[in-house]
Structure 1
Amino acid sequence: MRGRVALVTGAAGGVGSTLVRELAGRGWRTAGLDLRRAPDADHSVSVDVAEPAQVRAAVRRIERELGPIEAAVFAAGHHAIVPVSDIAWPDWRRMLRVHLGGVVNVCAAVVPGMAERGRGAVVALASHLAVGGASAEAHYSAATGAVIGFVRSLAAELGPSGVRVNAVAPGPTDTPMLPPDSPWRRPSYLQGAPAGRLTSPEEVALVVAYVIEDATFCTGEVLSPNAGTVL
């Protein structure tokens, strides 16, 4: 894998930056897409992943400067806890545009090249809430659930081409996305979890790297590093 190019969206965030460092340590050349600068990436492009034209231009630039993208990892997203009755349509739209739209836009830009070369790995980060749901997180659960549906459909479509498509659905992860007053950080919640703690971003990055490099037998799968919080 040494010298191959991996694209990571949300590369300036807690999980995204950890993913970039993990892949770089394994010899990958990394390209980060984010609204903010991604200092750990070899190549950082400021992009709104919900905007198709921006994504296409960024992918062309990355492949021109670094080479063909062999792996694409989607870590861009945001999280909010809001009762369903208080979720306004713009909130629904933003959640879906960033999570599902971001994955779709990047896939549209990178997958044709992967399929033409006959190889490639796509990994989309979803959430344990995509499967289990949670009170006051309907729009986040719905958006990440849509990502899993897209991943499984795309895996079936691309299987004959040699391109693998999988999802990683972490449990509550110890990053700034979870504020100090998050219910997922409450001792009452953590004490009921088998590991008694949140998932670490390093654990998520290890699972993603495994799916890209070693799990060549996996496509259309959902792996969930969650410290036992989802059983």
Structure 2
Amino acid sequence: MRERVALVTGAASGIGAAMVRELAGRGWTTAALDLSPAEDASHSVGVDVSDPAQVRAAVRRIERELGPIEAALCAAGHYTIVPVSDIAWPDWQRMLRVHLGGVVNVCKAVTPGMVERGRGSVVAVTSELAIGGGNAEAHYAAAKGAVIGFVRSLAAELAPSGVRVNAVAPGPTDTPLLPADSPWRRTAYLQGLPAGRLTAPEEVALAAAFLVEDATFCAGEILSPNAGAVI
């Protein structure tokens, strides 16, 4: 059996860390890209995913040391609640650089090798806010919406080569990204969800692992593990 190598960005905490644990439990060798060390990963590289040169160098290093990357899961990101009138231009740019730029940079680094081998899977983390919008979250929703457009376009481009590109669009997820006073943790909001609770990061990781391992029929799909926040 050949060793299967999965690259996970944003793997030091939250959804990315859950993805690392899920894939490791399925026998994958996991390589993490994050500004902070990813303790659960087999291999961790300190990288700013918004910097294409850093991402290219990290991918070359990982493939040299571990082998070809068979799956890339893009979970790096950040989140703030700010009214549109108060969002400074640098904040718009950073949101796009990290979320959209991070996915683009990883895809440009890993997919040429996948295409050459005729196999591979990319899963990007977007958000239910990209589908339904959110109050005082326009910069985040816009960046995540751009990820959906990129995923669907790249999926159409690469599907004939055997490389699949998909995404997960979780709703509010029980991670440190949501502070204790977040409106998404309020009882009134949770009671309005069909599931009555936040999504667990492990559930998002399960959806991503399904897209990587089992969903060979999926290309350009957006799965929504969001506790019914968007139906």
Shared fold per TM-score greater than 0.5: yes
What secondary structure, in the 3-state scheme, does the structure 2 residue paired with 1:191 have?
Answer: helix
Task: Describe the superposition over 1:41-80 as per-residue Cα deviations: whole angstroms up to 9, x where unpaired.
Answer: 0000000000011000000000000000000000000000
Aligned to 1:5: 5
What secondary structure, in the 3-state scheme, does the structure 2 residue paired with 1:8 have?
Answer: strand
Change (3 A) 1:19 1:2: farther
1:13 is displaced (CA, Å) by 1.8
Instruction: Give 1:135's aligned amino acid.
Output: N
Instruction: Give 2:40's aligned amino acid.
Output: D
After TM superposition, list the pairs within 5 Å mapping 1:1-231 onto structure 2: 3-231=3-231
* Structure 2 unaligned spans of 5+: none
Instruction: Give 1:227's aligned amino acid.
Output: A
Distance 1:147 1:153 in 2: 10
Instruction: Give 1:208's aligned amino acid.
Output: A
Instruction: Give 1:207's aligned amino acid.
Output: A
Distance 2:108 2:14 in 1: 25
Instruction: Give 2:184's aligned amino acid.
Output: W
Whether the aligned pair in 2 keeps the contact of 1:114 and 1:163 (CA below 8 Å) is yes
Instruction: Give 2:17's aligned amino acid.
Output: S
TM-score, with length taken from structure 1: 0.99
Instruction: Give 2:176's aligned amino acid.
Output: P
Instruction: Give 1:10's aligned amino acid.
Output: G
Distance 2:159 2:113 in 1: 15
Aligned residues: 231
Change (3 A) 1:132 1:84: same
Instruction: Give 2:190's aligned amino acid.
Output: L
What secondary structure, in the 3-state scheme, does the structure 1 residue paired with 2:198 have?
Answer: coil
Distance 2:70 2:60 in 1: 14
Whether the aligned pair in 2 keeps the contact of 1:155 and 1:220 (CA below 8 Å) is yes
1:2 is displaced (CA, Å) by 6.7
Distance 1:142 1:5 in 2: 31
Task: Describe the superposition over 1:2-37 as per-residue Cα deviations: whole angstroms up to 9, x where unpaired.
Answer: 730000000102111111010000000000000000
* Structure 1 unaligned spans of 5+: none
Whether the aligned pair in 2 keeps the contact of 1:128 and 1:230 (CA below 8 Å) is yes
TM-score, with length taken from structure 2: 0.99
Could you list the runs of 4 or more consecutive aligned residues of structure 1 that deviate by over 2 angstroms after TM superposition? none
